[in-house]
Amino acid sequence: MSGERFDAVVVGAGPAGAAAAYTMASQGLSVVMLERGEFPGAKNMFGGVLYRHALEALIGEAWKESGLPVERVVTEQRYWLLGPESVVSIGHRHARFMDPPNAWTAFRARFDPWLAGKAKAAGALPVYQTTAIDLLRDPATGRVTGVLVDRDEGELYADVVVIADGVNSLLREKLGIPRWKPHQVSLAVKEVLALPREKIEDRFNLEGNEGVTIEFLGATSRGLTGLGFLYTNKETLSLGIGVMVDDLLRRPIAPYELLESVKQHPMLHKLLHGAETVEYSAHMIPEGAWHAVPQLAGDGWVLCGDAAGLVNFVNREGSNLAMLSGQMAGEVIVEARRAGDLSAQRLMAYDRRVRRSVIGQDLRKIRRLPAMLHRWGGERLFDHLVGAINEAAYRYFLVDGTPKRQAEAEALRHVVRAAGGWRGTMRLAWDALRGVRG
Amino acid sequence: MSSRAAVEKKLFTIRYRADRGSHITLADPARCMSCERPCLLFCPAAVYQWEDDHMRIAYENCLECGTCRIACPSGNVVWRYPTGGTGIAYKRG
Ligand SMILES: Cc1cc2nc3c(=O)[nH]c(=O)nc-3n(C[C@H](O)[C@H](O)[C@H](O)COP(=O)(O)OP(=O)(O)OC[C@H]3O[C@@H](n4cnc5c(N)ncnc54)[C@H](O)[C@@H]3O)c2cc1C
Ligand code: SF4
Ligand code: SF4
């Protein structure tokens, strides 16, 4: 392997790296795809929602062939605002989400090998159980010319290095891009819980391979800025919660204890009881949005997926943005090679393409949200406000002889008080609106 | 169940292939003496364990989430990936 030269070296066989490798190999480029795991996906976890759109943009109708390793088709999505013993929920179920599927639930240790297999079939050379530990550079120009891997004499040379090594990208730091700050990342823990198929279908009101997603916030994060999820698989449930790392430093709590207490919440307990933990996992999510996205290309390199912070945490989209960015990187490299110009300037076309695309537009739209969440704080938003919304709903629905006008005023008062009076409510509403509307 | 026992039970659900040595070390172990030691709590695998006067790092249990690299207030954690092919391997993920 040593000293061999390729058109491109791709570091990481997650959705971003596999997409880049697939795109380039399909166009005849010689590509090596490195993965440090025993197999692609061995090191990876996610909540579990996989979107068809990005997959189809990448491989077309090929996803329809039998063997796409997914669990259920997501036909219903719910949002839960949790008080200590209550819930205010909104949800949407639509038969049209079924065909064609808008999204599936899935497992990374099954999906990633499948996608990486597509890249291999297109001609990419997979090299697994191998970690890229440094970038090789041209001593004269500083141009990135390859990677050093943790095998004997492991130098791999390439015209372009595609850095798709995920949120813990050590290689991006070798480019001089600063390490994430605790307020730009969240830590998520997850459990896969086994439950018989009939129980799942019963409890979630499902038929066949229909599936439900629930995102929840409020009492379950114990005053930290955090979001939880509960997704249905065929014969398991995926339950997880993520909290901002800076919050975790301010109010230390062991993540596994947080997850245990989530399971005890009466609303979740109803759906989970009797289920047995079959896997525990943890991972970080980059949540800095637009302002945390660094330059995406340079002399001999491009940066894709989580390594670049391309995650829309509001809509829990990451794997799809990873695939889209990997594909865009692959396309730009193919074009650059055809034009015989692999200069940094030319590769910067990838940076522009990502920023103009749906990825850039969506991340720009939520650019104010991280600061907004920070300003208001998890305790006020997730504990007090969500708690007050639950109290308000209780007051609203309770029939105890109170005249409606008075009951409604009381309900409203709960929320206004939690937001810090009328002035606070107005400010919060304005901030929240700007946070999500851009 | 103590929280240590609870997390150990969870960690049993994951398959590991131990690396030859630790992929996590401390730049200056003495710094942990005067630290509030948030790592004892935030690490999702309870890898950091305080023993009387020093930090024990149970690297074999590490989930490779990377949080300690980012969150250690004094940047004391020297963290690399386990050698290719070793470390955790999820069955589902
Ligand atoms: C708890 C959680 C829930 C999520 N939920 C969802 C969801 O429901 N839907 C969704 O779309 N997204 C979700 N995401 C986000 C999504 O998982 C990521 O955005 C996506 O996986 C990023 O893909 P990637 O290829 O950029 O990085 P990764 O998936 O992290 O892949 C990087 C790969 O590179 C390998 N690697 C790293 N360093 C090296 C090296 N030096 N040498 C060789 N190989 C290396 C890693 O082993 C890994 O396989 C979630 C994330 C988390 C943590
Ligand atoms: S947080 Fe860092 S400095 Fe503090 S005890 Fe842990 S490793 Fe040591
Ligand atoms: S990487 Fe994550 S699991 Fe491993 S020691 Fe650090 S915080 Fe703990």
Tell me which chain A residues have a C-beta less than 8 angstroms from the C-beta of B6.
256-257, 260
| Gyration radius (Cα) of chain A, Å | 23
Report CB contact under 8 Å: B10, A280.
yes
Residues A88 and A97: beta-carbon distance below 8 Å: no
Q: What is the pLDDT of residues B24-59, one digit of tens each?
A: 999 999 999 999 999 999 999 999 999 999 999 999
ipTM: 0.96
* Cβ atoms within 10 Å, residue A361: 12
Residues A211 and A72: beta-carbon distance below 8 Å: yes
**Residue B53, burial from CB neighbour count under 10 angstroms (0-12, 13-18, 19+):** exposed
Tell me which chain B residues have a C-beta less than 8 angstroms from the C-beta of A44.
90, 93
- Measured CA to CA, the distance from residue A136 to residue A155 in angstroms comes to 8
Q: What is the pLDDT of residues A9-53, one digit of tens each?
A: 999 999 999 999 999 999 999 999 999 999 999 999 999 999 999
- Measured CA to CA, the distance from residue A70 to residue A84 in angstroms comes to 34
To test the pocket of ligand 1, the residue of A46, A161, A302 to mutate (highest count of ligand atoms within 8 Å of its CB) is A46
A197/B3: higher pLDDT: A197
The answer, yes or no, to whether residue B2 has pLDDT greater than 80, is: no
Report CB contact under 8 Å: B13, A38.
no
**What's the pLDDT at B1?**
54
Question: Which ranges of chain A have pLDDT less than 50?
Answer: none
Q: What is the pLDDT of residues B76-91, one digit of tens each?
A: 999 999 999 999 999 9
- Which chain A residue has its CA at the smallest distance from B91's CA? A109
**What's the pLDDT at A163?**
98
- Measured CA to CA, the distance from residue A272 to residue A263 in angstroms comes to 7
Is the CA virtual torsion A429, A430, A431, A433 positive or negative? positive
